[in-house]
């Protein structure tokens, strides 16, 4: 089975963020990593490959720095990848990124199954994968927490997570696009031989023009950013000062004697 996994690189969310020009994050102080949800998608793809054979191809959109995390997916066991490295694409919104992924998957000759994470930690839209499915005219399912491929390899049975501890069991045909929820598996750590092999694996780096994507950037976007900013909360917690012992004692005292909840 030919499986494409969409992988995005995101900042470590514990970073201190500074906004530049009301429109972007100052990247100089930030460490980047693979989007959490995408690690589960890569692992899900590798488990299917181990069971049924085939190949796992990483599809990624973004600047040069992303190569580190594509190689991490290679080290986990993915076979090869394609990266759309084009600043014009990066300026676009979810629709433009979805268009680039659609064309990149077309470039690799399509896939039997396309996996994404549920959402990215930075943009939090949870839209891109669904748009890719629509562009490819494929069915999709989001928030997948269990996944079984039918014996004929032409269908899927899926548990889709719902609110309040419910799961919906869904059947659908292949090819399909699935967004993988965290917790579906335990993503493996790359092994040392895996890391060595990853360095030599094939990564096709393409620009929008190479994959037949003519309209990119802000012009092709369907939404526009007005501004990005650090929110000012109307409420702030009363921060209890002091070293851990003092703070803990003061907190326990408040909870016992002021709020009277313990």
- 214-233 binders of other proteins (CB under 8 A): 221-231, 233
Q: Considering Cα of 50, then 51, then 57, then 62, what sign does the dihedral take?
A: negative
Stretch that binds other proteins, among 50-58, 66-74, 80-88, 235-243 (CB under 8 A): 235-243
List 2, 107, 135, 210, residue binding other proteins (CB under 8 A)? 135
Task: Copy the structure tokens of residue 165.
Answer: 């501890």
Q: Does 31 bind other proteins (CB under 8 A)?
A: no
Q: Does 20 bind other proteins (CB under 8 A)?
A: no
Separation between Cα atoms, residue 136 and residue 105, nearest integer Å: 9
**Residue with smaller CB distance to other proteins, 24 or 202:** 24
The footprint of other proteins on residues 71-130 (CB under 8 A) is 93-95, 121-128, 130
Min separation Cβ 262 and other proteins, Å: 6
**Nearest-5° Cα angle at 241, 239 to 245:** 120
Q: Does 11 bind other proteins (CB under 8 A)?
A: yes
**Residue with smaller CB distance to other proteins, 26 or 202:** 26
Task: Copy the structure tokens of residue 125.
Answer: 């839209």
**Residue with smaller CB distance to other proteins, 42 or 198:** 42
For residues 158, 161, 164 and 166, what is the CA-based torsion angle, rounded to 10 degrees?
0
Residues facing residue 147 across a β-bridge: 158
List 64, 152, 186, 214, residue binding other proteins (CB under 8 A)? 186
Q: Does 152 bind other proteins (CB under 8 A)?
A: no
Stretch that binds other proteins, among 65-73, 74-82, 83-91, 170-178 (CB under 8 A): 170-178
**Residue with smaller CB distance to other proteins, 31 or 262:** 262
Q: How many chain residues touch other proteins (CB under 8 A)?
A: 77
Query: What DSSP string describes 92-149?
Result: S-HHHHHHHHHHHHHHTT--SEEEEES--TTT----HHHHHHHHTT--EEEEEEEEEE
Instruction: Judge contact between 195 and 187, C-beta under 8 A.
Output: no
103 closest CA partner among 84, 122, 88, 80: 84
List 109, 169, 199, 214, residue binding other proteins (CB under 8 A)? 169
Q: Are strands 24-25 and 19-20 parallel, antiparallel or unpaired?
A: antiparallel
Residues whose CB falls within 8 Å of the CB of residue 37, separated by 6 or more in sequence, listed in order: 116, 117, 118, 119, 120, 121, 179, 180, 181, 182
Min separation Cβ 18 and other proteins, Å: 10
What angle, 0 to 180 degrees and rounded to 10, lies between the N-to-C axes of helices 128-135 and 94-107? 50
Min separation Cβ 35 and other proteins, Å: 12
List 106, 134, 204, 210, residue binding other proteins (CB under 8 A)? 134
Q: Does 153 bind other proteins (CB under 8 A)?
A: no
Q: Does 52 bind other proteins (CB under 8 A)?
A: no
Min separation Cβ 231 and other proteins, Å: 5
């Amino acid at each position: 089975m030919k499986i494409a996994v969409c992988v995005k690189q995101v900042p470590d969310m514990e970073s201190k963020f500074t906004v530049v020009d009301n429109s972007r994050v100052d990247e100089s102080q930030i460490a980047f990593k693979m989007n959490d949800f995408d690690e589960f998608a890569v692992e899900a793809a590798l488990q299917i490959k181990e069971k049924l054979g085939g190949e796992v191809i990483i599809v990624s959109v973004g600047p040069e720095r992303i190569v580190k995390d594509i190689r991490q997916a290679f080290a986990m066991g993915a076979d090869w990848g394609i990266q759309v490295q084009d600043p014009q694409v990066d300026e676009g919104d979810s629709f433009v990124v979805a268009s680039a992924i659609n064309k990149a998957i077309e470039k690799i000759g399509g896939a039997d199954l396309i996996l994404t994470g549920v959402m990215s930690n930075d943009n939090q839209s949870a839209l891109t994968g669904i748009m890719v499915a629509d562009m490819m005219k494929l069915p999709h399912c989001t928030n997948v927490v269990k996944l079984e491929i039918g014996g004929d390899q032409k269908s899927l049975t899926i548990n889709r997570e719902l609110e309040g501890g419910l799961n919906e069991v869904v059947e659908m045909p292949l090819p399909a696009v699935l967004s993988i929820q965290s917790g579906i598996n335990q993503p493996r750590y790359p092994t040392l031989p895996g890391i060595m092999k990853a360095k030599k694996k094939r990564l096709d780096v393409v620009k929008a023009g190479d994959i037949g994507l003519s309209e990119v950037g802000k012009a092709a976007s369907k939404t526009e950013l007005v501004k990005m900013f650090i929110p000012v909360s109307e409420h702030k917690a009363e921060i209890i000062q002091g070293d851990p012992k003092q703070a803990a004692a003061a907190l326990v005292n408040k909870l016992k004697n002021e709020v009277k909840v313990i």
